Structure 1
Amino acid sequence: MRRRSAIKLTLALAAAACLAAAAYAANRPAAAAAGKAQYLSSYTWKLNQRWFGGFSALKLSSGGTAMTVLSDRATLVTTRIQRSQGLISGITARRAHGLRSSTGKTLRGFAGDSEGLAVAADGSRYISFEGAARVARYQSPGSRATVLPRPKAFRSLPPNKSLETLAIDSRGRLYTLPERALDRHGQIPVWRWNGRRWSHPFSLPPEGGFLPVDADFGPDGRFYLLERDFTLFGFRSRLRRWDITAAGPVNEAILLQTRSGIHDNLEGLSVWADGGGRLRATMVSDDNFLPFQRTEIVEYALPR
């Protein structure tokens, strides 16, 4: 979510901030039921840098000690995570890279509305943009963009509500879907890049007021979708999971659905396995560069 949208929400968010704080104090994440995500920890990340904030995607590696995080102002940041008894105790930013266009120019404004992040097996990064809806490959964080072909479906997506998510499966295929643009059947369209062309292999069912904000494939091969809803009392978050088969998505499960104000504006998702083989979901909040929001890193343990 870029600042222009945040400005429209500023008054509502300011009014909700105090209510959300009270809701959080009264409704801290409780122990999860069987088959649900279990809350582990929240860490508020603070850093006095001009580029800091607006984080919309992240990916963890090296057993949860290395993190790449993406700002919606075209900044890619590499970090190290310090942990104590498996929980985040500190984050050290190593380097911030301003993303470049295919011509080498630094991306800014409408063209630099970067939202989704996927990391390929060879280390290259794929990033989705929702201003001018597209997906680009970066061989390294500082390299020029290689923009993938843009199908007609991308060109008709609404500005600031388009390619919010990006995920990559074990075969190296990319999956992206819009934040708010349903197909003709009222479903959430999912597009897949197989290295040569885009296709529309399946759609996902919308439910309630939640909108997609990020997705990932876990080490278990299943597809995870992070969704968000905004109410007068703050943000709600939901995490759903599917098995992706040749016939489409099956075995939908709602692993997490929070009440308003439990967490901030969670927009980024990374599903990974810790040293003991336990699945974890790490999520980051987009503070919209507003002083009454925070950059929150939240972790949950996931059922197998």
Structure 2
Amino acid sequence: MTGMRLRTVLATLTAGLAAATCLAAAGPADAHDSGDAHACSPAVSIDRFSDALDKTDHDGTFVGNFSALAVDRDGSLAALSDRSSLFSLDARTLRPEAAVHLADEKGGDLDSEGLAVDRDGTRLVSSETEPSVRRYSRDGRILDRLPAPPALLVAPAGRAAANQTFEGLTLLPGGRTLLASMEYAIAGDSAGIVRFQTWQRHHGHFRLAAQYAYRTDAGLGVPEVQATPDGRLLVLERGFTAGVGNTVRLYLADPRHATDTSGIENLTGQGGVRPVRKTLLADVAACPSLGATARQPQPNPLLDNIEGMTVTGRDRAGRLRVLLVSDDNGNTAQTTRFYCLRVRV
């Protein structure tokens, strides 16, 4: 057996174990804590990671550039590439089963960043090009396009910078509210204050609703946001420093008492605006490396450009099962890596 083939077999086995831990229903393994050896913080532990899909392809489509994850209604995993591809992955092995190409109304590619699977199985996908949120059928047909606030459009149409717009997308419990997170601040707002935009469902269509301010740590942006079962949010904050590597932090955020900022032109951090309250759950650099290797400098070799996140369920201890994925940008110095976490909120 060649080294490459052996690596593929071992990686596939690793993927199966990782997916089973993260995505399967609660079983006997949940009866015990993962232990201090797997702790990232008092609130977060890591079970496993998997590099099985790194630099692979499916029917000629490159498997990578992952920007978002979601659990589909049939229990499979939907994985969104920012190169206009939406993959269906087997929930236990992570093996790609299908790939659908997404496009805008003119047939052009998207910079697809956020993903939510609606209760009818349709896909809500954000693109940071305009930015936009569109609804797609399972086979990739555009069904609808949601309105976007003028200020959040990319300049010169609005005040946002290119490639710094709708990165995260999530449906809140009950499915009536959709929330998108901007990655960075828009012009006129203070650096580090990003806007979370919501839509409310009315007669089957989403209409613009409240907007909230979220303050990031210095130098970090928001690549992903996911609703928890109680209506709070898991928020990823991420940054990159050449020669040092990535910073990735996981926060628990509560927008329920935050000020609606949709009518406020400039967010400067002054009084009168209650931002989304956040609590640090873990700095991923503090997780055990579990034998991971990195192809470029990293504070922890486990780290990479983590960009996608979804909540897949709970274990018997009540902890959330959270699956993360990194975006390798099609770069040989980066890795497509899945991370299986347990999060106590």
Do they fold alike, i.e. is TM over 0.5?
Answer: yes
Contact 1:71-1:114 within 8 A present in 2 as well: yes
Cα distance, 1:188–1:96 mapped onto 2, change above 3 Å: same
Structure 2 CA distance for aligned equivalents of residues 177 and 142 of structure 1: 23
Tell me what 1:21 maps to. none
TM-score by length of 2: 0.70
Q: Residues 98 and 146 of structure 1: is their aligned pair in 2 closer, same or farther, counting only changes over 3 Å?
A: same
The two structures have a TM-score, normalised by structure 1, of 0.79
Find 2:64's aligned residue among 27, 36, 53: 53
* Map 1:21-170 → 2, pairs under 5 A: 31-34=39-42, 36-46=43-53, 47-49=56-58, 50-60=61-71, 66-82=76-92, 90-102=93-105, 105=107, 107-108=108-109, 112-155=110-153, 156=158, 157-170=160-173
Residue 188 of structure 1 aligns with an amino acid whose one-letter code is V
Q: Distance in 1 between matches of 2:211 and 2:163?
A: 24
Kindly provide the CA deviation profile for residues 222-272 of structure 1, in whole angstroms up to 9, marking residues without a partner as x: 211111111222112111112332545665211111333431100001023
Residue 322 of structure 2 corresponds to 281
**2:213 maps to which residue?**
203
- Cα distance in structure 2, aligned partners of 1:138 and 1:194: 18
In the TM superposition, residue 127 of structure 1 has moved relative to its aligned partner by 0.6
The CA RMSD over aligned residues, in Å, is 2.3
CA displacement, residues 275-296 of structure 1 (integer Å, 9 cap, x when unaligned): 5353111111000001121110
More strand by share: 1
Secondary structure at the aligned position of 1:153 is classed as helix
Decide whether the 8 Å contact of 1:219 with 1:271 is kept in 2: no
For the Cα contact (< 8 Å) 1:212–1:227, is it kept in 2?
yes
> Does the 8 A contact of 1:283 with 1:299 survive in 2?
yes
Distance of 2:142 and 2:239 partners within structure 1: 35
* Aligned-partner SS, 2:236: strand
Q: Which amino acid aligns with 1:48?
A: D
Contact 1:102 1:146 in 2 (8 A): no
Q: 231, 234, 244: which one pairs with 2:255?
A: 244
Do the aligned partners of residues 114 and 264 (structure 1) sit closer, same or farther apart at CA in structure 2, a change above 3 Å counting? same
What 5-or-longer segments of structure 2 have no aligned partner? Answer: 1-36, 260-274, 286-298
Q: Deviation of residue 101 (structure 1)?
A: 2.6
The equivalent residue for 1:220 is 230
Q: Report if aligned partners of 1:76, 1:96 keep a CA contact under 8 Å in 2.
A: yes
User: What is the distance in 2 between the residues matched to 1:33 and 1:181?
Assistant: 29
Tell me, in whole angstroms, the C-alpha distance in 1 between the residues paired with 2:139 and 2:319: 29
Work out the CA distance in 2 between the residues paired with 1:150 and 1:204: 18
Q: Provide the C-alpha distance between the structure 1 equivalents of 2:38 and 2:240, rounded to a whole number of angstroms.
A: 21
Task: Tell me the distance in 2 between the aligned counterparts of 1:54 and 1:94.
Answer: 17
Q: Work out the number of aligned pairs and report it.
A: 262
Q: Which moves more between the two structures, 39-48 or 239-248?
A: 239-248
